[in-house]
Chains A and B, each alone.
Chain A
Amino acid sequence: MAKKVRILVAKPGLDGHDRGAKVVARAFRDAGYEVIYTGLRQSAEQITTAAIQEDVDVVAMSLLSGAHATLMPRVIKMLKEQGAGDKLVIGGGVIPEEDIPELKAAGVAEVFTPGTPLKTIIEYVNSKF
């Protein structure tokens, strides 16, 4: 039996648009993943704590408020500080193309912008495990 891959789907910041996060969560469930869904308004601390305690393999963050540049790198930094820097971190939402290099430099493995097929996201994560 293959190892069950666990993924944290998180909504950092104050943004309440969770349609995308929930659709992605369902898609991962239907692809056989164990999805831990955090709900809205998660601080970087909460996301890091959840990622560590749940021992997830993937941390997926969705943001539409424009606060991605602040919040995504912070989660990655905290994960590293707390000895969990080995997790695959991906991001999604309304993220301008020009911000993506900066996010990748901070350690976000891939960024999925609006209109990305679910299949693309799942195949990407599948390819890592």
Chain B
Amino acid sequence: MELLEKAKAGNKPSIARLISIVEEGTPESAAVLREIYLETGGARLIGVTGPPGSGKSTLTDKLVKACRNKGKTVGVIAVDPTSPFTGGAILGDRIRMSGIALDEGVFIRSMGTRGSLGGVSKATHNAIKVLDYAGFDYIFIETVGVGQSEIDIVKTADSVIVVSVPGLGDDVQASKAGILEIGDIFVVNKSDRDGAERVVIELAQMLDLNPNKDIGWKPPIIKTVASRGDGVDELNDKVNEHYDYLLESDEITERRKIRLANEVMEVLMKHAETYVHSRLEEEEFTSKKLDKILSRELNPYDVVDEILEKTFK
């Protein structure tokens, strides 16, 4: 495939087009992924998650600059929610990354969650593979820290940065939806604002509740003012420290295994789902049986058993 060769050589339009292909999830997409998989695995993945307005794009902008100063190339994937009502989205994270947007060694891509169940993380992981294949040294994945699907996207990164900010509500946002469990590094951004210290204390208390807190990596809490660059060096040091820890403890292999297992499972489930759907349609199963379930002539559990037996025999 010509597109693949060009992408490998760093041609931006080709990389961009490949991402579109794998994001769409068409049959062509499967062929691309099959082709590139063996040449991926070289990139370091860093997840950044936090609520809207927490300044995570500005933080990402600064972290990317630090990578660039070391001569590393960087891909960024910024995920924003798609409207469940219209299927449309406004993706505006590039605005906050104007400092790196024109850098030849940086590639920024915005993605909508497009609402399909489980499909979000798959599309994102596929996009990551394209950037990985194209040779980027670092890949940042940025998501809004709400909803399970967004958490699924970042939690499989090598290092996960969870961003909180004072003044967005009474409770620490990080405690929502189990995001506390996935953070390797916690950041309290806009820490020059009132209430920053309270957020730090609350985070520390919650982390202290973890029964395994004394084993392995101890997630640090770092105060930053991203707009001024305050605390960014320290954050960057911690990200590197965490990576060293992953290598030394070989936890990185463990993490990547889990990630792959998830991915394989996702692909498998997707195929299974498609297969089941196609069979159901063939057999005109649904409508006929549904009527009977509705009139209480049949119960749904027996019907499912029957479907399973028929489809997977």
Contact = CB atoms under 8 A, between A and B. Distances in A.
A and B, direct touch (CB closer than 8 Å): yes
A50 B101 contact: yes
Interface string A20-46: 000001101111111111110000011
A38 B91 CA distance: 9
Contacts of B12: 49, 52-53, 82
A4 B23 CA distance: 10
A37 B102 CA distance: 16
B16 A32 contact: no
A52 B110 CA distance: 12
B142 to A, nearest CB: 14
B16 A37 contact: no
**Cβ-closest 10 pairs across A and B:** A39-B95, A29-B88, A55-B16, A32-B87, A55-B20, A37-B92, A32-B88, A35-B90, A83-B13, A34-B112
B94 A50 contact: yes
A25 B110 CA distance: 15
Contacts of B114: 4
B108 interface: yes
B262 to A, nearest CB: 24
Given A45-B102, A49-B101, A55 B94 contact: no
Interface string A60-94: 00000000000000000000001110000000000
B89 A31 contact: no
Interface residues of A, number: 28
Given A52-B13, A53-B16, A82-B12, A34 B109 contact: no
By secondary structure, the B interface counts as mixed
Interface extent on B, as a size class? 20 to 34
B195 to A, nearest CB: 28
A38 B95 contact: yes
Given A34-B88, A55-B17, 17 more contacts: A4-B112, A6-B20, A26-B90, A28-B88, A30-B83, A31-B86, A32-B86, A32-B88, A34-B89, A35-B88, A35-B91, A38-B94, A39-B94, A53-B16, A53-B107, A54-B94, A84-B13
B233 to A, nearest CB: 27
Contacts of B185: none
A25 B90 CA distance: 7
B98 A46 contact: yes
